[in-house]
Amino acid sequence: LPWQAALGCRAAQVLMQYCILANHYWFLVEAVYLYKLLIGAVFSEKNYYRLYLYLGWGTPVVFVVPWMAAKYLKENADQGGGAGLCVPLPCLPSQINLLIFMRILKVILAKLRANQKGYADYKLRLAKATLTLIPLFGIHEVVFIFATDEQTTGILRYVKVFFTLFLNSFQGFLVAVLYCFANKEVKSEMKKKWQLWKLDH
């Protein structure tokens, strides 16, 4: 039925907007968590996990529900219009992430400079840390935050779409490789498990 198809389309659109915002707020959770590990407690140990969940999954609801209501009212007023009504850009988490990113880089630089004798290649290590944190915190989003789809045309639009899709699609994989599979402790544990498995079989 046509009304069921329209309802399905609207539900898919709402879900898509929620997922986009949730992605940005989970970037923020990752940044706050790493900041907490490197610099000090942001939240007390007792309740930080629950706050992270609220921030990552709950905050997008605060934006999506009013957008959904405004879109519904506009469509009724325009009798089918309102297609151009957009969810507010996730500027806030991106801007906070940029500030945390700069603060963390400052701490990493200070630690590397303090241990210059131990790390002769500290500039290379800083560059590696910077490149690792960019997709982890979603800093690439800040580059295109003011270049909306309506403003970008031609090659710039293709560049924006490529970088946004590529980095967003592979962010989880990149985090898993860098912070899990490339981690010495994780590799050591996997090696132990593999050796135990070989002994058993």
Q: Is 153 helix (H, G, I), strand (E, B) or coil?
A: coil
Query: 27-70, pLDDT tens digit by residue?
Result: 888 888 888 877 765 455 556 788 888 989 999 898 888 888 88
pLDDT at residue 120 in the model: 59
Q: Share the mean pLDDT of the chain.
A: 76
For residue 89, give every residue at least 6 positions away whose Cβ sits within 8 Å of its Cβ, in sequence order, or none: 145, 148
List, as one string, the DSSP characters of 120-175. TTHHHHHHHHHHHHHHHHTTHHHHTSS--TTT--HHHHHHHHHHHHHHHHHHHHHH
Closest CA to 30 of 124, 171, 183, 125: 171
- How far apart are the C-alpha atoms of 22 and 28, rounded to whole Å? 10
Q: What is the pTM of this model?
A: 0.68
Q: Which residues of 153-163 are buried (b: 16+ CB within 10 A; e: fewer)?
A: eeeeeeebeee
pLDDT at residue 39 in the model: 73
pLDDT at residue 58 in the model: 92
Which has the minimum average pLDDT: 7-11, 59-63, 170-174? 170-174
104, 35 contact by CB (below 8 A): yes
- How far apart are the C-alpha atoms of 200 and 76, rounded to whole Å? 67
Given a cut of 60, whether residue 138 has pLDDT beyond it is yes
Across 15-36, average pLDDT: 85
- How far apart are the C-alpha atoms of 6 and 9, rounded to whole Å? 5
Here the tokens at position 169 are 């699609």
- How far apart are the C-alpha atoms of 36 and 44, rounded to whole Å? 10
Q: At what angle do helices 91-114 and 2-39 cross, to 10 degrees?
A: 30
For residue 70, give every residue at least 6 positions away whose Cβ sits within 8 Å of its Cβ, in sequence order, or none: 85
84, 18 contact by CB (below 8 A): no
